[in-house]
């Protein structure tokens, strides 16, 4: 049997509400900046769990500070969120590509394309395979 637990909180005062709104807006702007910066094909290797962590570590090592005034933990969350959004976008694109391989291609060429775009049933895609 499941129980729903409702936690009550006091109403936010105006100052706390404004602080919360500013933080949410800064998070959205930071995520958008990351989306614009890392949506390029050059950053495909940074997709996937290991790549996301490598990019985050690289930004920390270079002393990245959010231009929107976010704390470190919040810009890291925005980075993770942006990279997951980009990854879902590319996964959808690649699914469409696999479905629409030209019939005129030889079987060898189709096999190579499927190998490049392979996604294990339980696992993550090797984004390093896909290069332009």
- 34 belongs to a structural domain: yes
Confidence (pLDDT) at 74: 97
Looking at residue 63, its pLDDT comes to 97
Contacts 24+ apart (CB under 8 A), 112-120: 119/91, 119/94
- Put simply, whether the predicted model's pTM sits higher than 0.85 gets the answer no
Q: Is residue 7 part of a domain?
A: no
Whether residue 3 is contained in a domain is answered as: no
CB atoms within 10 A of CB 6: 4
| Structural domain span for residue 119 | 17-129
Residue 45 placed within a domain: yes
What pLDDT score does 117 carry? 81
How far apart CA 9 and CA 6 sit, in angstroms, is: 10
In a domain, 11, yes or no: no
Count of domains observed in the chain: 1
pLDDT value at residue 131: 65
Token pair belonging to 24: 């949410």
Return per-residue pLDDT of the chain as tens, 132 residues. 788 888 888 888 999 999 999 999 999 999 999 999 999 988 988 888 888 999 999 999 999 999 999 999 999 999 999 999 999 998 888 888 888 888 888 889 888 888 888 877 777 777 777 765
Q: What angle do CA 68, 61, 22 make, to 5 degrees?
A: 15
Task: Give me the pLDDT at residue 32, please.
Answer: 98
Structure tokens at 4: 């729903």
Per the domain annotation, does 65 fall within a domain?
yes
Query: How far apart are the C-alpha atoms of 46 and 53, rounded to whole Å?
Result: 8
The answer as to whether 29 is a domain residue is yes
């Amino acid at each position: 049997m499941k129980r729903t637990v409702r936690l009550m909180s006091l109403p936010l005062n105006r100052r706390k509400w404004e602080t919360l709104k500013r933080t949410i807006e800064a998070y959205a702007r930071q995520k958008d900046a990351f989306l614009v910066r890392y949506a390029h094909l050059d950053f495909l290797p940074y997709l996937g769990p290991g790549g996301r962590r490598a990019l985050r570590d690289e930004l920390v090592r270079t002393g990245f500070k959010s231009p929107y005034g976010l704390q470190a933990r919040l810009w890291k969350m925005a980075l993770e969120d942006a990279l997951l959004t980009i990854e879902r976008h590319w996964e959808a694109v690649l699914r469409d590509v696999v479905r629409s391989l030209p019939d005129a291609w030889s079987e060898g060429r189709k096999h190579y394309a499927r190998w490049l775009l392979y996604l294990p049933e339980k696992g993550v895609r090797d984004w390093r395979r896909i290069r332009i």
